[in-house]
Structure formats: C-alpha cells, structure tokens
Amino acid sequence: MEILVWAAQGVCVVLVASFLLLVCIPRLHTPVRAYLRPLAIHEVENGLEVVVAAQKWQSPWLTHLFTKSSHSVSVSFYASFLPMLFWLGLPELGRNLVFLMTLALYVGNAIKDLVSSPRPLGLSYGTQRLRFLGASDEEVQLNAKEYGLPSSHTLNTLCLNFMVVWYLYDRQLIATGTAALLYCLVFLWVLWIAASRLYLGLHTPVDLLAGALAGMAVLVTFIAVEGHLASWVLSGPWAVLHAALASLVLLRLHPRPLAHTPSYQFSTAFMGAMFGIVVGVAAIAPHAHQPAVQLAHLWTGSGGRLMGSRALWALRRLCLGFGVVVLLKEGSHAVLLVLLPQLYRFFPLSIRRLWQPPVHNLAKLHPGKQQQQQQQQQHNGQQHNGQQHNGQHTAHESHQNGCHSGTEQAQQQQQRHDGMRLRTRQGRATAAATAAAEAEAVAVAAAAAAPMNPLLADLPHNARGLPWDVDVTCRFFSYSAIGVAVAGVVPHMLEALHW
C-alpha cells in the first residue's frame, strides 16, 4: 500500500512540475493550444446536453442555494477565512493553505489561458438556449469572463477542504473516525459545488472533470513537499529572495490568453499574498509560526481568556487583525499608485512591455468602436469544425479558429460572448448586472477619452487608463501588504499586547 502511495505522489509531482516547466517555455504555448483547444471545444459541445438537462431542474430556491454556495470560492471568502487561521491558533495551517491555493490558482488559471476553452454561456443546444442562472455581480464581472476549462471552483474547493482535513488528522488534532467522516463530507461538498457550476450554466462536464483531476494532482503534490516547504519558509531571508524570484518568473511567463480575462489578476493577487506571507514568516515573526503554536495551546492557556470569555479573546484578535490588514492594504495601494508611475519612468518601454499579457489595451478602444468592429468580424473568416452532435447548433464557431486569428479578433470574439451573457440574465439579477456593466462601460469610455501620455501610448493599459505594468505591480504589492500584515505585523502586535 505504501508503494502505491509513493507512486501516486510521484506521478502527481511529475505532472505538476512538467506543467510548470511548460509554462516557462513560451514557444510551446501556441502549439499546445492549437492541439488542445479543438479537443476541448469538441467536449464542450458534447456536454451542452448535460447542462440543458441540469437546468430543467431550475427553481428559485435551488438557484439561490447554488449561488450562495459558490461564494465559498471567492476573494472575499479567502480574505476572511485564511487570516483567521493565523490569529486563532493555526498559523501553520493558514500558511500551508495560502501556499496551496497560490499553486492551485496559478495552475488552474494558467490552464484556462493556455487552452482558452469557451464556457457554455449563451450557446444553444437544439432549440434551447443555455441560461446563465444566479448571475451575481462577482459571477458576471469576474468568473464569467474567464475561460471554462478547468473549473476553478471544483479545483479550489477540492484542494482547500481536503487539505484542512488532512492537516488536522496528520497533526493528530482529530481522531481517525472524525477524519473519515470529514473526508466523506468534503467529497459531497465538492460534488455539490461541481453540480452548482453545471446548473448555473458556467461549466460543462469536461470542465468539472479537468478541475477535479488538476485539483487532485496539485493537492497530492503539495502534501508530498509540505515538510520541505515548512523548512524552507522558516529558513530566513533566503526564502524571501526565492519567493520573489519564483513570483517574477511565473507571472512573467504566464500563458497569454486569446482575449483578456481576469485570470491573470487572480494569479497576481494570490502570488502577492503568498510573497507577503513569506516575508512575514521568514523576516518578521518566524517564532510565531513554529509547529508548536497550535489551536489547543492558545485556547487552553491563560492568554486564551478575557474575563472568562474565549469568544471575546478571539473577537479582539480578529478586530485588531482585520483593522491592520485594511489599513496596510489600502494605504500601500494608494502609495503605490503615486510612486510606481514615477519609478517606472526610469525603465525603457521595451522592458515595461514585457509584462503579461499585452494582448489588450482597454483604455485605447472605445466601447462603441469595439461593438462596431466586433460586428464586422462576425462575418469574416469563421470556421466550422465539421462535427455536430444530435442537432447541436452552437454559437462559438469563431472560437474554433481563434488559434489562427489575430489577437484583436480573439478579443472581439470574447466581447461578443460577453454580450450574449448579458442578454441571458433575468429578473433582479439582470438589472444589477446590467447596471454594473454600464458603469464599467462608462469608466472605460472616460478612460479612452482622457488624455494619455504620448510617451506611454505604446504600452497596454487597463480599463481605467492605468499602464498595465503599474496595475500589475500595484496589485502584487498591495496584496503582499496583506500577507505581511497577516503573518508578520499582527502576530507581533498581539504578542506585544499580550493578547
């Protein structure tokens, strides 16, 4: 049995390492996409029937339940759940989860942008159009704009929850029977999240399967190296240098999608948080992250009581911690927005253009012009893959020739699909989503109309008119400030206050 475990770990480590090596060789990205993308689109088409069947069970309460469940895989959830582990007695678990989720998000987002497989949103199967159910603001503005394969919700849910149970059992904080029960519950929860993505119309079965397989590979790989990672992060300043180099290389070589998606921003944010955690642990408060600092130690000692109430003890730690996090995050963001444009003036444009992904320049293209150009592109050069299944009539032929089209055409195709998504939203969700989209369009139009520094005209800009390299760097270091606060500043303050 032990041999099988070692073999499984070896296979997963090789798979994850091979993929990261592929990411580091940009020349291979295009041929790999040219091979995998048609296969993925074919499987997406085959899975439309399953999505239609799932949406036949539509009901208001089920839509609401699935939508709320999906929030367990969101920036707001991670930002509230992970810091609590650091401050309430499980800093080692919190640190491991940050590292694991950074790897999981990077692998998942890199696969998304490498394969560029479309979501089923706005497509038709036979005479029935697939609907986008439960369109919350986060789903509309962020998740729905990413590519579909693999399902990040499935991948991240599997990694996060199984890792928590494994850690608690491995550190002997729960009994064997409790661990077995929790593993079963986690398995059911992963199935529930996967079903929600299918029902809401955001994924097809191939996306869910890819997410589950990628999640298992990442999870097993992380467990295999977890002990070495703990020694590394506690080794001191060298860990900070290694983390900085790894972040720079992986973000620079992240696959470039056919059209702009938020995936790269997600990877940048979590990579920044990971770097901040390393700085906080290795350089500021390494003593607060030794394995001996555990839940039982803090909650049973004299320091765990405030007027006889452990709840108040926890509450004051959380209030202080989140207050410091908000202060450092917002403060660093404001300072960086002022300093970075001045600092980058000393860098040649050839260096500044290297940041991924210079395939979009949202500040230069007015929304009206985008719409006009995309309508023209709908009639040019569309290819059909020659395969239809059971009377399927899909709306993404343009996706099939995206590997051979220019970057601008791919961007316009993605925007056309975004338009389809907006038209499928109904009820109160429709009004909220449309209002948010209109506000974003106004911001883009204002940025496009604003005067741009002619010296920076060749640089890609975000929708707010900010140079892309400034946007990426600001995002990375503002989230690094969160990590430093969570793992370094707050533990020092709690220790000084004897809390």
Domain assignment present for residue 309? The answer is yes
Domain assignment present for residue 259? The answer is yes
Q: Average pLDDT, whole number, for the chain?
A: 77
Q: What's phi and psi for 137, nearest 5 deg?
A: -60, -40
Section 325-349 average pLDDT: 90
Residue 453 confidence class, pLDDT cut points 50, 70, 90: low
Domain assignment present for residue 455? The answer is no
DSSP 72-115: TSSHHHHHHHHHHHHHTT-HHHHHHHHHHHHHHHHHHHHHHHHH
Residue 454 confidence class, pLDDT cut points 50, 70, 90: low
Give pLDDT, residue 224. Answer: 92
Contact, 497 vs 324, CB < 8 A?
no
Domain assignment present for residue 414? The answer is no
Section 450-468 average pLDDT: 70
Domain assignment present for residue 388? The answer is no
What does the DSSP 8-state code read for residue 128? E
Section 109-138 average pLDDT: 73
Give pLDDT, residue 99. Answer: 95
Residue 295 exposed, middle or buried by CB count within 10 Å (0-12, 13-18, 19+): middle
Domain assignment present for residue 251? The answer is yes
Section 302-326 average pLDDT: 77
Residue 146 confidence class, pLDDT cut points 50, 70, 90: confident
Residue 455 confidence class, pLDDT cut points 50, 70, 90: low
Report the C-alpha dihedral over residues 392, 395, 397, 399, rounded to 10 degrees.
-120
CA distances from 68 to 52, 63, 73, 287 (A): 21, 9, 10, 38
Q: Which domain holds residue 13?
A: 2-358+463-496
Residue 167 confidence class, pLDDT cut points 50, 70, 90: very high
- Given the DSSP bridges, would you call strands 128-129 and 124-125 parallel, antiparallel or unpaired? antiparallel
Give pLDDT, residue 131. Answer: 67
Listed ranges 224-238, 321-335, 378-392, 415-429; the one with the highest mean pLDDT: 321-335
Those residues whose C-beta lies under 8 Å from the C-beta of residue 126, and which sit 6 or more positions away, are: 52, 390, 391, 392, 393
Give pLDDT, residue 398. Answer: 39
Answer whether 0.75 is exceeded by the pTM: yes
What does the DSSP 8-state code read for residue 202? S
Of the listed ranges 2-16, 44-58, 136-150, 164-178, the one predicted with least confidence: 136-150
Q: Is pLDDT of 329 > 50?
A: yes
Domain assignment present for residue 382? The answer is no
> Percentage of the chain surpassing pLDDT 90?
38
Q: Is pLDDT of 356 > 90?
A: no
Q: Give the distance, in angstroms, between the CA of residue 113 and the centroid of all CA atoms in the same chain.
A: 12
Q: What is the pLDDT of residues 124-145, one digit of tens each?
A: 555 556 666 666 555 555 667 7
Query: Residue holding tokens 């009901």?
Result: 59
Give pLDDT, residue 299. Answer: 54
Of the listed ranges 171-175, 191-195, 424-428, the one predicted with least confidence: 424-428
Domain assignment present for residue 367? The answer is no
Residue 497 confidence class, pLDDT cut points 50, 70, 90: confident
Of the listed ranges 274-283, 341-350, 417-426, the one predicted with least confidence: 417-426
The count of C-alpha atoms lying within 13 angstroms of the C-alpha of 210, restricted to the half-sphere facing its C-beta, is 24
Of the listed ranges 91-100, 286-295, 365-374, 478-487, the one predicted with least confidence: 365-374
Count of the separate structural domains present in the chain: 1
Q: What's phi and psi for 467, nearest 5 deg?
A: -55, 140
Give pLDDT, residue 290. Answer: 53
Give pLDDT, residue 68. Answer: 85
What does the DSSP 8-state code read for residue 301? S
